[in-house]
Amino acid sequence: MNTGLHTSLSLANSPCSGRCTTSMAPFDEICQGCGRSVEEIRDWESYPNFKKKIINVRNWLDGYEIRQKIKEIKMSDDDPKKDIKGRMITVLSLIEMIGQDMLNHYGKDPEIKEAYQALFNSREKVLEAKDSLPQND
């Protein structure tokens, strides 16, 4: 298995960071640790990998500290701006790979329209964030 304590090598693994707020008073509907809803936490193991990846990308982009944000990976001291842009391109690539996986597996199945829309919205958020970075290199 590609997981360890508070780390994960797969985007489809659980994003739980051990700070669940859905199971402790005041019982949040959305976990403040990983960003998943109560239903997503409950049904996680029943989801196909592509849906897990979409949820994790969405929550990562929304600023939640999902387990896949490995703290040990440091930005380059030489050119952190270039490093940030490179990571954004990596995220865009992952989103596009998930989209291709969905098309290959499901085609344009209307039953997973919500998953397609979530993936598209995630891609748009990354593009907006990338475009909002200072352009002076």
pLDDT bracket for residue 52 (50, 70, 90): very high
Place of tokens 């960003």: 35
Distance (Å, whole) CA 82 – CA 94: 18
- Residue of higher predicted confidence among 83 and 127: 127
Query: How far out from the chain centre does Cα 23 lie?
Result: 22
Q: pTM higher than 0.85 for the full model?
A: no
Residue 13: burial class (beta carbons within 10 Å; 0-12, 13-18, 19+): buried
Any idea which residue has 């200072």 for tokens? 134
Average pLDDT on 104-127 reads: 86
Torsion from C-alpha of 61, 35, 119, 90, nearest 10 degrees: 40
How crowded is residue 66: how many other Cβ atoms within 10 Å of its Cβ?
25
Query: What is the mean pLDDT of the segment spanning 3-12?
Result: 58
Between CA 32 and CA 6 the distance in angstroms is 15
Query: Could you read off the pLDDT of 12-50 as tens digits, one per residue?
Result: 888 887 777 877 767 888 988 889 998 999 899 999 998
Burial class for 47, CB neighbours closer than 10 Å (0-12, 13-18, 19+): middle
Q: Give the residues across from 30 on adjacent strands.
A: 37
Alpha helices in 30-134 (DSSP H): 38-43, 49-61, 80-106, 113-132
Q: What are phi and psi of 28, to 5 degrees?
A: -65, 150
pLDDT digit string, tens, across residues 55-81 = 998 998 898 888 887 554 555 566 777
